Structure 1
Amino acid sequence: MSSNKREAFRRFIKPENMEILQRLAAVSDENWFKDALQDKDVFFALRDNRVDAYAKGALVHRIEFKNGKAIPHTHVKYLIKEPKKSREYISLEENAFQYDPGECMQTKYEAGQTLKSIKAAALYYSPKSSESYGVSSIIAKNPNIIDIEFSLKQSIDESTEPPVLSESSQSETGQKSKHDRIDIVQLEKSKDFYQLVFWEAKLYANSDLFSNKIIDQLNRYSQQIKRHEQAIIGAYRNVCQFQFDINSLRPHHFHNNDLKNIAERSVDLKVDDKPRLAIFTYDAPQKTRLKERVETLSIELGKRRIVHKGNSSKLILK
């Protein structure tokens, strides 16, 4: 007998797994996790007792926990030393492919070097013109971002109700999956509370921006956020605690005590149930057309829900 129970939206990490990361950060020897902590390009996102580390628009480490250890998983394509050569042909002679794996692939982790190579490979798959790279630039400009890839995923049952919020099924390519998902989750401070703000990121080149699809998409997100508001708030209190703990391990991050206060419920946390739209990557001639479109969208969505900038690295979410 099938059940209509759908999976919950969750963000958490077991205390013993957070302690594993803290120990990795504290050891005297260099390691992959310390490299990630020290790299300003790396953004850590809490999942369902898992941590995803993003850089340059790519998921560079999917960190899982097993037998008391943190195990990072990296997609094989990011381990190719020269991604452009991945399109080349390799000859087969006497039942042996004529290449040296050590010359073509990262075969072991070298502190201080391998993460740089992974990031360089990531740029091949997520170039500066891509949406995922644009989102990474926005993260760097907006330190109040606490999560990315907030997914609205259809459950596996046959329920006719709207899909529940769940963990992102985004592929490692940085491309959007078939499931609804919101790109950015931001903390916005008001006088007496913080609120969660959800942002849909769109390249100017995305044709959905110039059709009603974008309005339908944001309205659909809004309905789901309203439906699961309390689950979202609970999950993001955990995220605030996680980000506070991760920041305390990073040499270049300031200590935001408000994250701790939100996690401990001494500061109220609310939800803005109307997702906003961030548009980027366009030039001066395209700006005129975009301005007209933004004016039209503002009638439907309101001006406060739309921000845009040609250069994503200069886009401030507010």
Structure 2
Amino acid sequence: MEASFRPFVRFISEKQMQLLEETAKGPKGSWLCDALGDPELFFALRDERIDVYYRGRALYSIEFSGGKVTPRTHVKYLVLDDRDPYIKMRNGSFDYKHQYLQGDYQEKVSLRQMKAAAKTFSGVESMGVYAAIKDDPFVIDVEVAFNRSAEVTEHDDLDVGRKQDRVDVVRLRRAGGGFDLVFWEAKHFSNQELFNDKILSQLAAYQRQLQTREEQLLTAFRNVCRFHHDLDKLRKSLGLDGGSESHLKSLQDLARGKLALNVVKEPSLFVFGFDNDQKGGRWKGRKEHFEGVLGKKRLRAIGDASDGFEPGGKKKGSLLMAISKASQKGS
């Protein structure tokens, strides 16, 4: 590791969570209520910051400073969804005949427009990851950056190989009386890295990170479990859909260390987007190669990404039942 290596942290204080709740229930909190109530958005805890993702794009980066909650968004997500984002120049002046960017936040309307703008910037790989994590209760983090430089954040569009190791998804998996933390790298079938072994080098780099940071990861992701617990409680207090009481208790038990949590130090590979002809053709030999190097358990290869990271993993209530069983064994 380089000298600029910094610890991996996931943390939000009770005071910051209280500020989030006050904002959501306050007169200017419609933006947050809309986001909390949208099942297509994923809230990802960072280090005293929250990133809110839609189809692989960070619509919001929520910061806490000066006793306030401050959301930031990229200007490209504020382009109104019925406007061409390219502006003509006429006689040395940019031709704005109509309003191009959102102004005041409008409840329900503004978030819909932001999502429409974000779709423009979501590539096939981001869309696949989104389809895989949607409705999967086991997914607890996305776009996980192991920084080599303090200047890099999870949603920066920088050279990943040069600046950081960035894992696509962190997911809970039932293991005995507790859970494993499984780190997934996702690749669309069209990605040439699958066919030149660059992906294997990438996974090896991730593995070194996981081996080095095991204790940091356990602390961080117990904090993440607490965050999702508190976030669901906030949703329910606002009259929005949230987890059941047994689900909230189970997340709390994970957060408090009452359930075992284990870091799987060998990252897994999720490959999607191939058809039946490709499955029996070009992909067949490549799949066998990956299984020989990684083992079958570390490879999930499916045509339709929406089938998720594990067979049956998206069934309603599956996480609740799994954690409930683990709680009973651990009690």
Common fold: TM-score over 0.5 = yes
The amino acid that maps onto 2:257 is R
1:8 equivalent in structure 2? 7
Q: 1:125–1:214: structure 2 CA closer, same or farther, 3 Å change rule?
A: same
Q: Distance in 2 between matches of 1:177 and 1:31?
A: 38
Is this contact kept in 2: 1:243–1:259, CA < 8 A? yes
When normalised by structure 1's length, the TM-score is: 0.87
Deviation at 1:108, TM superposition (A): 1.4
Contact 2:141–2:169 (CA<8 Å) still a contact in 1? Answer: yes
Change (3 A) 1:32 1:74: same
Aligned equivalents of 2:82, 2:218: Cα separation in 1: 41
1:22 maps to which residue?
21
Residue 79 of structure 1 aligns with which residue? 78
Equivalences, count? 301
Instruction: Specify the SS of the correspondent of 1:40.
Output: coil
- Per the alignment, residue 208 of structure 2 pairs with 223
Segments of 5+ residues of structure 2 without an aligned counterpart are 312-331
Shift of 1:27: 4.1
Q: Which residue, 127, 140, 143 being the options, matches 2:137?
A: 143
Residues 279 and 228 (structure 1), Cα distance of their counterparts in 2 relative to 1, 3 Å cut = same
Cα distance 1:153–1:29, how it changes in 2: closer, same or farther (>3 A)?
Answer: closer
Q: Give the CA deviation at 1:311.
A: 1.9
Partner of 2:199: 214
What is the aligned partner in structure 1 of residue 227 from structure 2?
Answer: 242
Structure 2 residue aligned with 1:187: 172
What is the aligned counterpart of 1:279 among 271, 281, 284? 271
Structure 1 residue runs without a partner (length 5+): 157-165
Residue of structure 2 in register with 1:269 after alignment = 261
Whole-Å separation in 2 of the counterparts to 1:89 and 1:253: 46
- Name the counterpart of 1:159: none
Q: Where does residue 97 of structure 1 map in the other structure?
A: 94
Using the aligned pairs only, state the percent identity.
Answer: 35
- Cα 1:20–1:55, aligned 2, differ >3 Å: closer, same or farther? same
Counterpart position of 1:162: none
Which residue number corresponds to residue 305 of structure 1?
Answer: 298
Q: Deviations over 1:184-204 (max 9, x none)?
A: 001112221111100001111
Alpha-carbon deviation of 1:112? Answer: 0.7
Contact 1:90 1:99 in 2 (8 A): no
Please name the residue that 1:152 is paired with: 146
RMSD: 2.4
For 1:115, which of 88, 111, 115 is the aligned residue?
Answer: 111
